[in-house]
Amino acid sequence: MTLAFRYRPIPDSLIARWDARWKLAAILVAAGGIAALNHLTSAAVALALGLLLLVLARLPRMWAFSRLLLFAIPTLPFLLVLPFTLEGEGWDISIPSFSAGANWSVHVSHVGLSAGLAVFCRGVTIGALALVLLGTDQIHHTFAAAHKLKLPGLLVQLTLLTYRYAFLLADEFRRLRIAMRTRGYRVRSTRHGYRALGHATGAMLVRGADRAENVTAAMRCRGFTGTFHTLATFRTTFADVLGFGMLVAATIALVLWDRAGLS
């Protein structure tokens, strides 16, 4: 399980060839619609759709699975808690008790289980859509597309800088950790352990601030005035519009079906 989206070759697929602007717009609409689903059945259909897109994207299986877990884990508490906290019809499960004469039972409601599973399906589907978006194009191309869709240039520039320097700072932190280990440091739950970790984090922040100043100077020396420019070019084809239309139509159909009570 990992968060990193390091540079790697983009596998050729229908989705990789989809114009980044239309793809971004369609996936944003789909994510919004899926987040609004209430019922388990519609959420399960959405999950199937999300996984289908993931398969069509032809992303490396382990790469996609390990990152999908990240989206699944935050939804697990809902799955574990809602069946026991929401009222309604369901099953009573007896729990053996150590004290004589006492009889414990836990009520698991259908409604709660269904609500928990719906949250799980929605979370994983949105994760799958995010992976489709991030895995089928270079990140700077996706953000250039966001800029074309009127996301402010400064925000795009800041996001790209954060993306670039996150790796650099992570690498510096790794070197710092190695330096600490060579001097006998091991992560322990002691006062000294926490102090050392605090100092290392502080050093990283100071280095980060220092680097930010240097980067600003380098950008200004090359004429940066706050406007985002990119070499990325986009061309719309009929297939791009068709892909957008299909995903948006599927999302609208799912939402309407869900709102109509799945009748």
Partner 1 sequence: MTQHSVLSTQHLTHRYACGRIALDDVTFALEAGECIAIVGPNGAGKTTLFLRLCGVLAGKPGQANVNGLDPALPEHRKKLPEVVGVVFQNPDDQLFSPTVEEDVAFGPLNMGATPTEAKSRVAEALNSVGMPNAGERVPFQLSGGEKRRAAFAGVLAMRPSILLLDEPSMFLDPRGRRELIGVIRALPGTKLIATHDLDLVLDTCRRVLVLDSGRLAADGPTETLLADAELMEKHGLEVPYRLRR
Interface of this chain with partner 1, residues 120 to 139, rule: CB under 8 A:
138-139
**Which CB atom, from 188 or from 229, has the smaller least distance to partner 1?**
229
160 binds partner 1 (CB under 8 A): yes
| Size of the chain in residues | 263
Task: Select the residue interacting with partner 1 from 106, 229, 256, 259 (CB under 8 A).
Answer: 229
CB of 216 to partner 1, least distance (A): 8
d(CA 164, CA 70): 21
Measured from the CB atom, the residue of 106 and 168 that comes closer to partner 1 is: 168
Q: What are phi and psi of 60, to 5 degrees?
A: -55, 130
DSSP, collapsed to helix, strand or coil, labels residue 221 as helix
Q: Which is nearer to partner 1, 181 or 220 (CB)?
A: 220
The residue type at 192: H
Terminal-to-terminal C-alpha distance of the chain = 39
- For residue 164, state whether it binds partner 1 (rule: CB under 8 A): yes
Output 41 or 138, the one with its CB closest to partner 1: 138
Q: Which is nearer to partner 1, 44 or 139 (CB)?
A: 139
Can residue 209 be called a binding residue for partner 1 (CB under 8 A)? no
Of 150, 112, 119, 197, the C-alpha closest to 21 is: 150
> Which residues contact residue 181 at a Cβ distance below 8 angstroms, ignoring those fewer than 6 apart?
none
Residue ranges of E strands in 42-103: 90-95
Q: Using the rule CB under 8 A, is 3 a contact of partner 1?
A: no
For partner 1, the closer CB: 178 or 221: 221
Distance CA 136, CA 245 (A): 19
Going by the DSSP 8-state scheme, the letter that residue 11 receives in this structure is: P
Nearest-CA neighbor of 52 among 246, 261, 235? 246
> Of 94, 103, 225, 263, which lies in the binding site for partner 1, with binding defined by CB under 8 A?
225
**Contacts (CB under 8 A) with partner 1, residues 168-207:** 168, 171
Residues that bind partner 1 (CB under 8 A): 6-7, 138-140, 160-161, 163-165, 167-168, 171, 211, 214-215, 217-225, 227, 229-231, 233
